[in-house]
């Protein structure tokens, strides 16, 4: 028979992360800074300029050479 007991969910540690956030009040678009394709990206949802901000997010490592080599 299927074991239906749920395992306790592990807390994911959050850390302050630099992100680009859409400057438009009507848009919620954002992207992590180390995953952006340009130094000053435009919002992919509405095309507005983006501004650098910070959010508490789970840690991720960007291992893509094409994105990390632009710095």
Q: What is the pLDDT of residues 1-40, one digit of tens each?
A: 567 777 878 888 999 999 999 999 999 999 999 999 899 9
Give per-residue pLDDT as tens, 34-65.
999 899 999 999 999 999 999 999 998 888 76
Residue that the structure tokens 């094409």 belong to: 66
Rg, C-alpha atoms of the chain = 17
Which residues are 49's β-sheet partners?
Answer: 42
Q: Domain spans of the chain? A: 24-57
- Positive or negative, the CA dihedral 35, 37, 39, 40 is negative
Specify the pLDDT at position 2. 67
CA angle 61, 21, 44 (to 5 degrees): 85
pTM to 2 decimal places: 0.73
Alpha carbon distance 2, 39 (integer Å): 51
């Amino acid at each position: 028979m299927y074991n239906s007991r749920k395992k306790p969910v592990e807390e994911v540690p959050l850390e302050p992360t630099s992100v680009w956030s859409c400057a438009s009040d009507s848009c919620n678009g954002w992207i992590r800074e180390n995953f952006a394709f340009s130094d000053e990206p435009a919002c992919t949802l509405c095309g507005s300029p983006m501004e650098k901000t910070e959010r508490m997010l789970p840690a991720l490592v960007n291992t893509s050479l094409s994105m990390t080599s632009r710095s």
